[in-house]
Structure 1
Amino acid sequence: MAFIGRDRELAQLQRAYDSDAFECVVVYGRRRIGKTTLINRFLEGKPNIFYSAIEATMQGNLVALSNAINVYRNAGETTGVAPVYPDFQSVTDAVFAMAHDQRLVWVIDEYPFLAQADRSVSSILQHAIDRNKHDSKLMIVLCGSSMSFMERQVLDYTSPLYGRRTESIKLMPFTFDETRRFTSQLTKEHSAIAYGLTGGVAQYLEWIAPSDDIAGMIENRVISPLCNLFDEPYMLLQQEVRKPAEYNEMISNIATGSSRMSEISSASRMPTSQAQMYLTNMIDLGILDKEMPFGAKGRSKTIYRIKDPFFRFWYRYVPRSMSAIQARRLGLVTRMIIDDLPRFMGPVFEDISGQWMWGRGYDRLPFPVLQAGRWWGSDPKTRQQEEIDIVATGEDPARAILCECKWRNDPVGETEYRTLQRRGQLLPYPDKHYILFSRTGFTDNLRRIADADATVQLVSFDDMVE
């Protein structure tokens, strides 16, 4: 498969390489996000020692490290049994010596495995960097999938390596535009659903077959116990947290309606302080989001929601259907999911619309936007809860863009515009502009309104996607 995206990350790595001075770059991100693929792309044509740590003893890792160094010494050829370095100190001395006069990239992939095999590894590396960084041409790349480990024991100020890194790259999931490039063999709508199912994670997207229709994507790639994605959420939690079962229950509770701290801690049967710690960890992992209504002050209206689209999909459908799935009634579960898909895709389409506003649609906005978010609150007249999908503002505090995003089969019409207009009256912006996003276009009546009113803009899904 062709290499797609990651242009900024590749450029960042290349700039570090071109400095010809010592560099220590930390590359991290969740499982299957594409870290190793990115690094291998960067390494093309460059002298390098690539070593992927293994979940084993330090002796096992020293054998693998020694083999990787032997391959480099012999210009990429494996020649016999490599002499094994006695300890990691000897390894660092040897690698720094090789890079004294020539540029060399030393990649330690899955660094947490190595550091867990011997707790002195980070300290040894720290001292080696301090001794050699001023007269070395070595570029070290430390890569890891355990985000909690990389952030707390590599990047954190308590780590021996704190202050030694020269660059860091936190690899994020693909945007929808990048996902569309990855799934260009699918229709635009199928690409959007693929984004909703995978959250833009590169490896997940690779598991979607070009021949898959929507039912095939759901049944064969996500909910079948035989597919790779079926146990992926639990595997990710197992890698990142100490008590994955408790985290699993908490995410399930959020997926089924608990959103405030009191609701979540009660449903999860744990003290508020413990629930707060778990929620913070999942926010750090990119699984959850903590939200307040756009423009609100104070924490009284804070809610928690599942940020990651793949987790949102999996926890919405799989736990409640587990008995049917285990009974191999996959067709039944798939039909149920497809019937509910327009509702599931609502928040996904909001994400896609927000990305369009910050990306290819930015120059089409009525003014430069600096911040945006979701708004919700109570109408004092009706005492009903109201919500606006996206509110965006710029430098002028009097101006705002209010957006409605509809992923449904029917065209968006005047009713939706008038509802957005009415909800906008609850917000303190004198100068309001409106954007309506629609999967299936707009009624003729709404088009006439937009043609006559410069504050109303209509954006169809088809126009958002190349």
Structure 2
Amino acid sequence: MFIGRTRELAALDRLYQSDRFEFAVIYGRRRVGKTTLINQFINDKKAIYFMGVESNAKQNLENFSRSILEMETGFKAETTFLSFQAALEMVFQLAGHQRLVLVIDEYPYVARASASLASTLQLLIDQYKETSKLMLILCGSSMSYMEDHVLAYKAPLYGRRTAQMKILPFDFEEVCRCFPGYSAEEQALVYGAVGGTPQYLLQIDDRLSVAENIKNTFLDPTSALFEEPENLLKQEVREPALYNAIISAIANGASRLSEISSKVGENTNVCAAYLKNLLGLGLVQKEIPYGDQASRKAVYAISDNLFRFWYRFVPQNSSIISRGAKELAFQRIEPYLSEYMGNVFEQICMQYLWKLLLAGRSPVFFSELGRWWGTDPREKKQTEIDIMGVQDKTTALFGECKWTNEKVDQGVLKTLVSRSQLFSYTEVHLFLFAKTGFTQGCREMAETLDHVSLISFTEMMELFREPQV
């Protein structure tokens, strides 16, 4: 069953319906579902689909020629065009009087093996774009290559594309739709452990409990996901050992560059270079306090939940796991799951606030959300705010997120009120999010204050489960 990607499919359909030359660039991390999206789009259309392989130009040209001739004749053919230019000329000619989609998937593999391919495409697009009905889609998993050699200003194809799509992992709402039989808490745990990458979500069997799925996917050496993070790094980087060490350091609490450097035993310049690559791969994100431009306060976090979960729990239990003791390994992990889910719950709460805004129900029309941390001058100590969003110089929202089995009491609300007063906004809206709910004292205090929203996880799920428009 195909789930999600409604906006992307709608955008591709709009391009297709134009009936003129269109050129879309689709890129995103491996396993994120780019090929599935494209196959869903071309399912009922006349299309040539060609996936590049990590080989030489000759092999890719043979495969490309076969794809063209199979589409045109309906039979497998061994004939090969003399060059990519000749093959592409044929495609443009075929699209002279009929709508035709050409997909070159894993374009970086083909372009690296054939240095002139980008220039050839540029030449033919310029020659045929006014008369052609071709819809060209270039797709790639190497985000740095796609950004530098297809989308960048100096790239030969710059200015030719009519659309681009960066395909991101599913958000929490889409993950919930994948597992309608799970409870809200189970859906959150799946999102926290596996993230939103479709290929990873396919490994989850919703006929089993989340605990059993964790044992079968993360704590079983024979599972498809057991070595996935390390294998993905080996495909993307040259020195996976140091990248492994850096991600492990972040997963286990090191967030500042100096802390990461100290944990891995390398100087900060080396770590900064490796972190830059991890940022480019979308595995790590760099954060600064909301509204602050000072990079010296920057911290790093793992942006993919599966990587974050794996590096947090698997390496430290690898000896137990390798002996087949997944039950024992899970017993060691289980006490820390609630703490681990704290950050995941913050992600879900931010997504809730975005849905509220897009539905026209947010009291604050923010343009972005983020965390804030800094010094409280009143107490002369560091403090932080889970969620902050600003509408203008006078209006802002502040949020606190609690993933605990106990009801949130008025002390947490008092702290949120106090922290919001570190800023000079005259209209402040407070959001307190709780997994389990709120004590009577907390509810009574909220009623005495202006602009306070107490939102339980159950209430949040009502919005996530509303039909998509």
**TM-score relative to the length of structure 2:** 0.93
Partner of 2:142: 146
After TM superposition, the structure 1 stretch with the greater mean CA deviation from structure 2, 26-35 or 235-244, is 235-244
Q: Give the SS at the match of 1:374.
A: strand
Partner of 2:379: 382
Partner of 1:352: 348
Partner of 2:425: 429
The alpha carbon displacement at 1:80 in A equals 4.8
**Do structure 1's residue 372 and structure 2's residue 401 form an aligned pair?**
no
1:27-42 pair list within 5 angstroms: 27-42=26-41
d(CA) in 2 for partners of 1:261, 1:160? 36
CA contact (8 A) 2:367 2:390 kept: yes
d(CA) in 2 for partners of 1:427, 1:171? 36
CA-to-aligned-CA distance 1:170-222 (integer Å, 9 cap, x gap)? 00111111111111121111111111112211111111101121211211122
d(CA) in 2 for partners of 1:291, 1:54? 36
**Do structure 1's residue 245 and structure 2's residue 241 form an aligned pair?**
yes
Matched to 1:440, the amino acid is: T
The alpha-carbon distance between structure 1 residues 352 and 294, as it changes in their structure 2 partners (threshold 3 A), is same
The alpha-carbon distance between structure 1 residues 80 and 109, as it changes in their structure 2 partners (threshold 3 A), is closer
d(CA) in 1 for partners of 2:155, 2:235? 20
Q: Give the SS at the match of 1:140.
A: strand
Partner of 1:182: 178
Partner of 2:55: 56
CA contact (8 A) 2:50 2:64 kept: yes
The alpha carbon displacement at 1:258 in A equals 2.0
The alpha carbon displacement at 1:47 in A equals 0.8
User: Structure 1 unaligned runs (5+)?
Assistant: none
Partner of 1:313: 309
User: Structure 2 unaligned runs (5+)?
Assistant: none
CA-to-aligned-CA distance 1:395-432 (integer Å, 9 cap, x gap)? 2x232221110111111111211122222233333433
Matched to 2:363, the amino acid is: P
The alpha carbon displacement at 1:73 in A equals 0.9
**TM-score relative to the length of structure 1:** 0.94
1:9-28 pair list within 5 angstroms: 9-28=8-27
After TM superposition, the structure 1 stretch with the greater mean CA deviation from structure 2, 46-55 or 416-425, is 416-425
After TM superposition, the structure 1 stretch with the greater mean CA deviation from structure 2, 319-328 or 94-103, is 319-328
The alpha carbon displacement at 1:91 in A equals 0.9
Measured on the aligned residues, the alpha-carbon RMSD in Å equals 1.8
The alpha carbon displacement at 1:19 in A equals 1.7
Matched to 2:365, the amino acid is: P
In percent, how many aligned pairs have the same letter?
44
After TM superposition, the structure 1 stretch with the greater mean CA deviation from structure 2, 345-354 or 211-220, is 211-220
d(CA) in 1 for partners of 2:154, 2:453? 50
d(CA) in 2 for partners of 1:241, 1:163? 30
The alpha-carbon distance between structure 1 residues 176 and 375, as it changes in their structure 2 partners (threshold 3 A), is same
1:149-160 pair list within 5 angstroms: 149-160=145-156
CA contact (8 A) 1:175 1:200 kept: yes
CA contact (8 A) 1:148 1:240 kept: no
Partner of 1:408: 404
CA contact (8 A) 1:147 1:240 kept: no
CA contact (8 A) 2:92 2:132 kept: yes
Deviant stretches of 4+, over 6 Å: none
CA contact (8 A) 2:70 2:77 kept: no
Partner of 1:447: 443
Partner of 1:46: 45
**Do structure 1's residue 457 and structure 2's residue 453 form an aligned pair?**
yes
d(CA) in 1 for partners of 2:127, 2:266? 48
d(CA) in 2 for partners of 1:392, 1:162? 35
CA-to-aligned-CA distance 1:305-345 (integer Å, 9 cap, x gap)? 22222221111111222222222221122122221111111
